[in-house]
């Protein structure tokens, strides 16, 4: 019965044989010569088997990458289709003045939200700016909070939005 050896074990055996050779003053006996030949052959077979596994896994990775690319393309098509369909429903509901549609287990409605519009950043008072490392930007949250609290901020306004949601 042949014992299965890992490359580590084959290497370990080789090092043991090399140590034996050193202890014998470098004298190569028939036993040592046979052990070295078997060890070398085992290593070649084992390394070749490892090589086949590595090649197979590399080929599998190529197939996985192709599948990921295919699925990403399919997802992009779905995202664009969803956007077009929602845009069509949203426009039709606006034309007919419909705020909500409930049919069976689906509800289509508008979600109201308010966003802060910066019309002219140069008019915004400095207290509404935030400094990020080496970049000075207007804080939309601070400006929006001030506008919602009734404080007038030059160069900014609130915009009421309706976003279609499908549940």
**For 15-28, what is each residue's pLDDT tens digit?**
777 777 777 777 77
Domain segments of the chain as ranges: 1-98, 99-166
State percent of the chain over pLDDT 90: 34
> Which tops the pLDDT comparison, 47 or 123?
123
Q: For residue 117, what pLDDT band results from cuts at 50, 70 and 90?
A: confident
Is the alpha carbon torsion for 91, 94, 95, 100 positive or negative? positive
Mean predicted confidence (pLDDT) in 25-38: 75
Query: Buried b vs exposed e over 78-115: b needs ≥16 C-beta within 10 Å?
Result: eeeeeeeeeeeeeeebeeeeeeeeeeeeeebbbeeeee
pLDDT at residue 3, as a whole number: 53
């Amino acid at each position: 019965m042949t014992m299965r050896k890992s490359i580590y074990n084959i290497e370990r055996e080789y090092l043991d044989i090399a140590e034996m050779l050193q202890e014998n003053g470098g004298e190569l006996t028939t036993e040592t010569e046979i052990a070295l030949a078997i060890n070398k052959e085992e290593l070649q077979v084992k390394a070749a088997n490892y090589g086949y596994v590595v090649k197979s896994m590399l080929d599998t990775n190529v197939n996985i990458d192709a599948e990921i690319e295919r699925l990403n393309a399919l997802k992009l098509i779905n995202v664009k289709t969803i956007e077009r369909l929602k845009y069509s429903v949203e426009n039709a509901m606006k034309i007919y003045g419909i705020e909500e549609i409930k049919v069976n287990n689906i509800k289509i409605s508008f979600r109201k939200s308010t966003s802060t519009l910066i019309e002219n950043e140069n008019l915004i008072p400095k207290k509404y700016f935030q400094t990020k490392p080496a970049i000075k930007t207007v804080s939309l949250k601070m400006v929006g909070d001030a506008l919602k609290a009734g404080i007038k901020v030059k160069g900014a306004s609130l915009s009421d939005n309706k976003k279609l949601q499908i549940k």
